[in-house]
A and B are shown apart, each in its own frame.
Chain A
Amino acid sequence: MESGLTILGRRGVKFVTKLGGIFLMLGRFLVALKELPRSLGLVFDQLYTLGVKSLPLIIIISVFVGAVAAWQAAYQFKFIGAPLRYLGQAVGKAVVIELAPVLSAIVFAGRVGAGVTAELGSMRVTEQIDALESMGISPIRYLVMPRVLACLFMVPLLVVFAIFIAILGGLVVSVIGVDVSSETFLNGFRNSFQIGDFINGMIKAAVFGLIIGIVGCYEGFHTRGGAQGVGLATTNSVVISSVLILVFNFIFALILFRV
């Protein structure tokens, strides 16, 4: 019978090993960037597959995120007796600096991170990654670099769409459900909008994209076993990416948005 301390120790070692592996994958990705010019075709393929194809889902999520944000803000305003003319301001701030980057990234981790891990994991267990290496083709350059770059660029781009759609969703709910005119809502949004917030949101989104890409590829590359292994790696990928997104979001809140 193992003691609790032994189990804790083993899990600790496993955690540190995984974290080290993720950083190592990041390092190998950065090194592979020097071969970017010859891999541009692969990068564009992934920008389309991972990014453009995620747009419909991001649009659906964002409509409801904006709508709920407006409704909940109105509910809070009513509770504390705040005037509803600030509704656009509150929804705008929340969407630009928090809701759009974080929720888009979590959804992207679920759709794209899981997909990347499942794809690379299947390639690992069916020896396709071994086959690439045996042919003298670097799997980091051929598989990892295009996917990570696509995540890095597409998450911020999708967040821009998400902001726009979420504000639209909030506007519709404000006008129809809360009885705030579109002019009042948009004026509030315009008055509160700061380019600094937007840039910070984009920086966060890019880091979240990097996390999703690196973790997705790392888990895929280290898949063991058959279908069960692929399933486990995919779950790990989504869980680790989501947790890291939330942890980094908190760190960004402390650094970028000083109270």
Chain B
Amino acid sequence: MSDALIGIEGISKRFQTLEVLRGVDLDVNRGESIVIIGQSGCGKSVLLKHLVRLLEPDEGAVTFDGVDISSLTGRRLIEMRRRYGMLFQSAALFDSLTVAENVGLGLTEERLHSKTEIDSIVREKLDMVGLTDARDKNPSELSGGMRKRVGLARAIAGNPEVLLYDEPTTGLDPITADMINDMIVDLHQKLNVTSIAVTHDMTSAFKIADRIVMLYDGRVEFDGSPDEVRNTSNEVVRQFITGSAVGPIQVR
């Protein structure tokens, strides 16, 4: 077993007749900022959800800190999940709660902090994403970019060791997307976390990654630094990063 923080060992996943992942192997080291790229529908988000066991692989295993997460149940599974923070594609804010309640929900349910402490943590995290004044708003009153920032504040509220980003810039205008990218880079440095993002936005990928992994045909097609991606002769990667409709990747 490797000493990676997260180990993905030959995982396969099928939904009815659709085989999404076909033996993905990937190690993520502590402190890395990895971006997983690939076509829409290639299984990037599916892979991400396996890390916190929102999905279970049909074959293979996911390890976290040396432990096979499929062996975790009850309290230990909850504790493993609390070491992660996750920003969902649609931000997945709880409609019935205010911004502050959304950010503080994990802490409230953890029952380790007083209400005053939670208020103070929520204020601090909302400050970090520049949304101090939005604490009493409902999610429906927020723009797409603001929702992502609240989602980000919620993801970091419990001081996680690993941050997962599912398409963090999808659906945002280029300026807001760049602001989210800056925040991801900033949080990665300030919080000293391991970051894993999935995206098909190459501007975002080059900005936040110190390692880029490309998924293609259910497997890891390429694994290297941003510079290696830019200079690669791999035709699949080249087609993807240049956004060409002509090449080995067939549009489904």
Interface residues of A (CB under 8 A from B): 38, 122-123, 126-128, 130-131, 133-138, 142
Contacts and interface: CB of A to CB of B under 8 A. Distances in A.
A137 B49 contact: no
Interface of B: 49, 52, 54, 77-79, 81-82, 84, 86, 88-90, 92-95, 105-106, 109-111, 154, 158, 164
B50 to A, nearest CB: 12
Contacts of B158: 135
Nearest to B151: A131
B54 A134 contact: yes
Contact of A137 (B86, B90, B105): B105
A131 B77 CA distance: 15
Given A133-B54, A135-B105, A137-B105, A127 B79 contact: no
A134 B86 contact: yes
Contacts of A133: 52, 54, 81
B52 A137 contact: no
A136 B76 CA distance: 10
Nearest to A128: B92
Nearest to B110: A136
B94 A128 contact: yes
Given A131-B92, A136-B82, 6 more contacts: A127-B88, A128-B93, A130-B54, A130-B88, A134-B54, A135-B109
Q: Determine the main DSSP class of A at the interface with B.
A: helix
Contacts of B49: 130
Contacts of B94: 123, 128, 131
B224 to A, nearest CB: 29
Nearest to A129: B92
A126 B154 CA distance: 16
B106 A136 contact: yes
B84 A142 contact: no
A136 B79 contact: yes
6 contacts: A128-B94, A133-B52, A134-B52, A136-B81, A137-B109, A138-B78
Contacts of B78: 136, 138
A127 B106 contact: no
Contacts of B54: 130, 133-134
Given A136-B82, A137-B106, A38 B111 contact: yes
Contacts of B89: 127
B38 to A, nearest CB: 19
Which 8 pairs show the lowest CB-CB distances between chains A and B?
A: A131-B92, A136-B78, A127-B92, A136-B81, A135-B106, A136-B82, A134-B86, A127-B88
* A38, A123, A136, most chain B CB atoms within 10 A: A136
Nearest to A130: B54
